[in-house]
Structure 1
């Protein structure tokens, strides 16, 4: 019988779809903008993989939305740590750290958490202070920033790792990085990342993601070629709205157009003129109502291969359904694709059915009139 510790950060990821680029300290503003909690839903997607193995596992979790509510609804055996959550229902980092400390003291076999890089830092700190850095930890990706290498590539992938553990399969354990960004700098389009330490993470095939690769793209000529091709497409399609996603690869397109760029947000271009900046999900949907034809220009996240679900949650399932897969222009240098070492590209929209519908293959623009075909899951 395996005992899992489960901690859900209910506020994880609420800033993404509304364009806040993070959730730390931004709950009130996120809710004011119409944000919805999604961490419990993503946790359920992961735990679905354990339903057939309920008799072989049990949980130590937290009251209410931090775990008890979901586990009880799914029929798992659950005991609770001794923490009292705020009457407001708004949890904080201290709640996560105290829960992790108690789970470490109780000797859970594996600690599972749903959150982002800030939650990973809290787990790391708690285990270090408890002297239990040896406990295996696996993250369910639910935050805006997922740079650390302690998560499954999708919630379902995290669940597959857990199912393998419960089924008695051989699962490797690897020391993996916890990294996080300075969110204030992040909101000002400055990427300031730090390494905070390592956690012991169970590994199974390509189900666990690599650390997000930072740094400036060095292949300036390749990016210039890609940007020139996108500009040519815009000239040929004067009635199409272009939604330019986040990142340094897509930034090259905006530089080619000589337009202001939100490095870590979504901008909108029509007839090579800026018509929207740093858009939220609702801002994108409003423009899609205004412009019947639209395309999104997205890049591949270096080291991980995600095209949706990492730092660009403004492209929500509702937005993606409006656009359609055929209207996504994916751009990347070939060196970035080669560095994936055969791993497929990943879509993690939060809508399992949509992810399944979009899986298969996708074309990636890698230069001027130069494209390759990649697997997408």
Structure 2
């Protein structure tokens, strides 16, 4: 079997620094100025480590340098490099490498990135070659991604070993990053790619809100505000379920960012990881997060500013999860997911936690650290 392995080395760099994506040279430059560093290569290695037992039984095609070659060689693989080595790689390089892999007969392409990377692959290979994505970007609305880097490796391992697997056509979605930064989510379906599907390992496409949730969210909001303690810093997560908290407090809200509130006053808006850590030096804090409908993530998708270090300093006991019953029901019994990039922090969440579902009710729901 031939495996294509591609890493988008800049994927996700805009997350922790609050830029909500890394599409475009100017955004990348700003991310670097704010102290962002590549995380996709490490996530890609977590997936590739799963394949080490069969590294001598497969042929690997990979991109040059930080596009996959460095990671593969470091783990003991002997890949064939496709594409031209450069100091910095861009979207065109991803498409060139993916196209060459398809021409060389790759049976599966394992790639690390976000929705933009999935679009790049779709542009050149469509549904000709099965793929599985290693989640490493800020925006991960598409259904072509595994729920964790190791899960991507497990899917690839099963497929390359010839296990019988359902091949599903999964959505390639992306949003307008510039509109996203202005608080508008405009998602577009670009097409479908073939994915070896394991329901416990591959994430669902993100679902939108359900009509009828407004009353529940209104009640949740009232309870959260009623229970706010004095001199505690509240870290308000992103999303439409947390927005009413800010609105009822009469405070400006960053719909797709993180805001800080203390004593019912805005302390800082649209903060990045560094900002949050600085405020945590002098404050006891609580984090209020909601659930991504259809997927179940509370950390690691669209709120990378709430990094493993932030979550660890705040503490599991100070995490407040809010979601309507309808949103929990949309998960069909699946656990809520935590993917901070820190295995130790993720494991803290294995087990059950309370979820505020209305003014008067809480649900007990299973959580799983990935």
Q: Shared topology, TM-score over 0.5?
A: yes
Structure 2 residue 344 is the aligned partner of structure 1 residue 345: no
Residue aligning to 1:253: 245
1:215, CA displacement in angstroms? 4.6
Give the root-mean-square deviation of aligned CA atoms: 1.2
Measure the CA separation in 2 of the matches of 1:171 and 1:23.
33
Residue aligning to 1:324: 315
Structure 2 residue 189 is the aligned partner of structure 1 residue 195: yes
Measure the CA separation in 1 of the matches of 2:57 and 2:318.
45
Q: How does 1:302-313 map to 2 (within 5 A)?
A: 302-313=293-304
TM-score, normalised to structure 2, is 0.96
Structure 2 residue 222 is the aligned partner of structure 1 residue 228: yes
Residue aligning to 2:364: 373
1:56, CA displacement in angstroms? 2.5
On the 8 A contact 1:58/1:76 being kept in 2, the answer is no
On the 8 A contact 2:210/2:327 being kept in 1, the answer is no
On the 8 A contact 1:16/1:144 being kept in 2, the answer is yes
Measure the CA separation in 2 of the matches of 1:371 and 1:223.
13
Measure the CA separation in 2 of the matches of 1:195 and 1:167.
32
On the 8 A contact 1:85/1:95 being kept in 2, the answer is no
Measure the CA separation in 2 of the matches of 1:127 and 1:60.
15
On the 8 A contact 1:115/1:143 being kept in 2, the answer is yes
Q: How does 1:136-175 map to 2 (within 5 A)?
A: 136-175=130-169
On the 8 A contact 1:224/1:256 being kept in 2, the answer is no
What SS is found at the alignment partner of 2:167?
A: strand
1:218, CA displacement in angstroms? 3.9
1:180, CA displacement in angstroms? 0.3
Residue aligning to 1:268: 260
Measure the CA separation in 2 of the matches of 1:183 and 1:266.
17
What SS is found at the alignment partner of 2:43?
A: helix
Structure 2 residue 346 is the aligned partner of structure 1 residue 355: yes
On the 8 A contact 2:209/2:293 being kept in 1, the answer is no
On the 8 A contact 1:216/1:248 being kept in 2, the answer is no
> Once the two structures are superposed, what CA deviation does each residue of 1:175-197 show, in whole Å capped at 9, x if it has no partner?
00000000000010011111100
Measure the CA separation in 2 of the matches of 1:245 and 1:217.
22
On the 8 A contact 2:7/2:68 being kept in 1, the answer is yes
1:254, CA displacement in angstroms? 1.2
In the alignment, structure 1 segments of 5+ residues that lack a partner are none
What SS is found at the alignment partner of 1:313?
A: coil
Residue aligning to 2:74: 73
1:205, CA displacement in angstroms? 2.6
> Once the two structures are superposed, what CA deviation does each residue of 1:285-341 show, in whole Å capped at 9, x if it has no partner?
1111121x1000000001100111100000111111101111110000010110111
1:167, CA displacement in angstroms? 3.4
Measure the CA separation in 1 of the matches of 2:36 and 2:79.
29
Measure the CA separation in 2 of the matches of 1:116 and 1:33.
20
> Once the two structures are superposed, what CA deviation does each residue of 1:129-182 show, in whole Å capped at 9, x if it has no partner?
xxxx22101100000000000000111111121122233322111000000000
- Selected match of 1:122 from 120, 123, 137: 120
Measure the CA separation in 2 of the matches of 1:262 and 1:216.
22
Aligned residue pairs, count: 366
On the 8 A contact 1:268/1:275 being kept in 2, the answer is yes
In the alignment, structure 2 segments of 5+ residues that lack a partner are none
What SS is found at the alignment partner of 1:249?
A: coil
